[in-house]
Amino acid sequence: MIDIELIRNHQEVVKENIKKKFQDQKLPLVDEVYELDEKFRAAKTEGDQLRGDRNRISKEIGVFMRQKEFDKAEAAKKSVKDIDQRITDLEAEEKEMEVEIRKRMMVIPNIIDPTVPIGKDDSENVEIEKYGEPLIPDYEIPYHADIFQSFDGFDSESAGRTSGNGFYYLQGDVAPLHSSIISYARDFMIDHGFTYVIPPFMIHSNVVTGVMSFDEMENMMYKIDGEDLYLIGTSEHSMIGKFMGQMVKEEDLPRALTSYSPCFRKGVGAHGIEERGVYRVHQFEKQEMVVVCHPKDSAYWYDQLWKNSVDFFRSLEIPVRTLECCSGDLADLKVKSCDVEAWSPRQKKYFEVGSCSNLGEAQARRLSIRIKGKNGNYLAHTLNNTVVASPRALIAFFENHYQKNGDITIPKALRPYMGGQEVIHPKK
């Protein structure tokens, strides 16, 4: 959510930003907020004036009574009663206008960073850099679900019976490999100075609306029936919520945290072979990075976060690249974002395995996360980034370490988590 001062004083900046995000349907919201805010402030000014008048007249009543000017006292009492009623009406109007203003402000997109490339959708994202040599072996790489099944490590059929489409069982050698990658990601981030946290996996609706846009919420979140609780789509949600309503001391920043959680997402949308298996699922596990920092430090932390993802995947000997997300591909709360994509030797292309985002003060404004500074209080900046999301990381890992005989090699960094194993062998 942007600062309303931008709409009061720089409407064209807000409108131009909306145009850059190709959301022209939201342009009328700017004028609507401006007009509502004008009425809101006028109502507050009138209310303040009336309260002053009420105090003054209330004092006069005592004077009139002492002077036995009873007619004047009664007239003054009536004036106070009328003023009270008007104040009550104004306060009701103010609350109504506050709701309407916030409703519109919540869907006006954040101001994007000047460096963000302008484009309508993810097809116009811009490659930044490649890391590692994307190799194509001289033998066929099977579809990832087929590789998993060769290790007796994947069962979607049984999951379909218990839970439906978009769920799966991992088992055999695939399950411990999955857990090893998650454990390694945890230790990797701890070694990089991040504090490890296991957060709540359910959050209240006010946290949900504080950390994400309404469109994202509708498409992603599972709601617990009969309760004000939602299953998290990523641990970022509860990790940012951890600071809701808090005044963080300036000297305690930055707060660099890494969190583990299962993640739950509604949308699967299976279309074709690449959308089956574990590419898009309702449930997965994830290691996340979250930073709460001083505004002047957010650009630095943005670069540190995505570099951590690159370093993590390269330590697993997986080639990756980074893509700068264009304006039309940015969620409304984001200032700047980039994707980390892993190489798929089977598809002969890169695919997304993580996303790094700088949200500026948008989440902090919604959730009232403030910094207590020497020269006053101000809003914090928040950032998040994926260390590893288990399904897609597994796909990248198995494809890039698949051998001609069906073996999967284990890179040095992961061997301590696999009991020293250097290779795992298929069962069939």
What domains can you pick out in the chain, each with its CATH number?
Answer: 4-105 (1.10.287.40), 122-424 (3.30.930.10)
Spatial neighbors of 69 by CB under 8 A, at least 6 apart, are none
pLDDT band at 270 (very low <50, low <70, confident <90, very high): very low
Structure tokens, 118: 């302008």
Q: What is the DSSP string of 174-189?
A: HHHHHHHHHHHHHHHH
More confidently predicted of 313 and 269:
313
Which H helix or E strand runs over 370?
A: strand 370-373
pLDDT at 59 over 50: yes
Spatial neighbors of 199 by CB under 8 A, at least 6 apart, are 232, 235, 238, 239, 242, 259, 261
pLDDT, one tens digit per residue, over 213-236 is 777 777 789 999 999 999 999 999
CA angle, 285 then 358 then 19, to 5°: 115
- Asked whether the beta carbons of 192 and 395 are under 8 A apart, the reply is no
The structure's pTM equals 0.90
The whole-number average pLDDT for the span 178-187 is 97
pLDDT, one tens digit per residue, over 282-325 is 999 999 999 999 999 999 999 999 999 999 999 999 999 999 99
Structure tokens, 154: 């994947």
- pLDDT number for residue 272: 47
CA angle, 298 then 386 then 358, to 5°: 25
- Asked whether the beta carbons of 384 and 257 are under 8 A apart, the reply is no
Cα 422 to chain centroid distance, Å, stands at 37
The whole-number average pLDDT for the span 395-404 is 97
pLDDT at 332 over 90: yes
- pLDDT number for residue 271: 43
- pLDDT number for residue 276: 63
- Asked whether the beta carbons of 427 and 152 are under 8 A apart, the reply is yes
268-274 contacts at long range (C-beta below 8 A, 24 or more positions apart): 268/165, 268/166, 270/165, 270/166, 273/143, 274/347
